[in-house]
Amino acid sequence: MDKSDIADKKETGTLGKLMVLLDIVTHADAPMRFTDILAVANQPRGTLHRQLGHLTEEGLLELDGDGRYAPGLRLLDFAARSWARNEFRLIAEPHLVALQQLTGETVHLGVLRGAAVIYLDKVEGRQPVRMYSQIGNASPVYCTGVGKAALSVLADERVAALISGVSFQRFTENTHTLQTLLSEIAEIRQSGNAFDREEHEVGIRCVAAPVHSEDLSFVGGVSVTGPAYRLTLERLEEWAIPVRQAAENIMSGMRIGLGPRR
């Protein structure tokens, strides 16, 4: 998310303005100086200084010796507690572990958020060359296995709305264009599996399957990911069924564990 897009949110209350500042700093690629934040925050200098002070006092932001603001450790505590108590992640965890034990490769669980995929969980592979993905990271929906799997369960109208603003940055020579993406979504709907054939990163492949709630209020996917020299196209096809089964097991657990409470 672009920092200017964050600042343009129509937040009028004090809490809303503080949340905008947190968004700006936490989405930045590097710690930001006061003047950097001022340029995008759309707030008076005095108000901004006071609000940054409040966030720093509460441990939500940190101010280093060079006068730069960065996310505070208290945010990590919030994130860790939220992650540990997330019911969906707990339901999915044993199925992710089983899939990792079967394949030996890294398994990811992700959820669709706008035109991006946010990774909720990861079970590290036991191979010597591992993935450097992180829980909480966002990846483009159009060139990742989990993202394309998630798109495949949505109606055409919703897919069109989600990708209407996507620029389709070309990460590799295999990265999708709009037309090739739509064509593959049709194929995924038939097979139940999505593949990342070095579309986001050269040398990385994956096979994925969609995970979703019955009302499609929650849409995501599970994937097995690894280096291309281990994950040949034949190996990806071999693991397609186990990945689909893991996704189905997770959805069964969701229906039982996250169903209506009486």
Same domain, 71 and 94: no
In a domain, 262, yes or no: no
Computed on alpha carbons and rounded to an integer, the radius of gyration of the chain in Å comes to 20
In a domain, 216, yes or no: yes
Tell me which residue range forms the domain holding 179. Answer: 86-257
Polymer length of the chain: 262
Residue with tokens 């990460």: 171
β-pair partners for 70:
62
Cα 243 from Cα 19, distance rounded (Å): 38
Tens of pLDDT, residues 149-190: 999 999 999 999 999 889 999 999 999 999 999 999 999 999
Same domain, 31 and 62: yes
Same domain, 20 and 134: no
As for how many domains the chain has, the answer is 2
Average pLDDT over residues 116-141: 76
Starting from the edge strand earliest in sequence, which strands make up the sheet with 204-212, in order? 138-140, 116-123, 106-113, 219-227, 204-212, 194-197
* 107 close to 94: Cβ distance less than 8 angstroms: no
Same domain, 102 and 64: no
- The gap between the terminal CA atoms of the chain, to the nearest Å, is 39
Same domain, 127 and 236: yes
Average pLDDT over residues 95-120: 91
Same domain, 106 and 221: yes
Cα 155 from Cα 219, distance rounded (Å): 12
What is the pTM for the complete model shown?
A: 0.69
Burial label for 152, CB within 10 Å (0-12, 13-18, 19+), is buried
42 φ/ψ sector (left φ>0, alpha ψ -120 to 50, else beta)? left
Q: How many CB atoms lie within 10 A of CB 176?
A: 21
pLDDT of 222 above 60 = yes
β-pair partners for 69:
32, 63
| DSSP assignment string, 130-143 | -----TT-EEEGGG
pLDDT of 221 above 60 = yes
Per-residue confidence at 79, pLDDT binned at 50, 70, 90? low
In a domain, 80, yes or no: no
Cα 125 from Cα 141, distance rounded (Å): 23
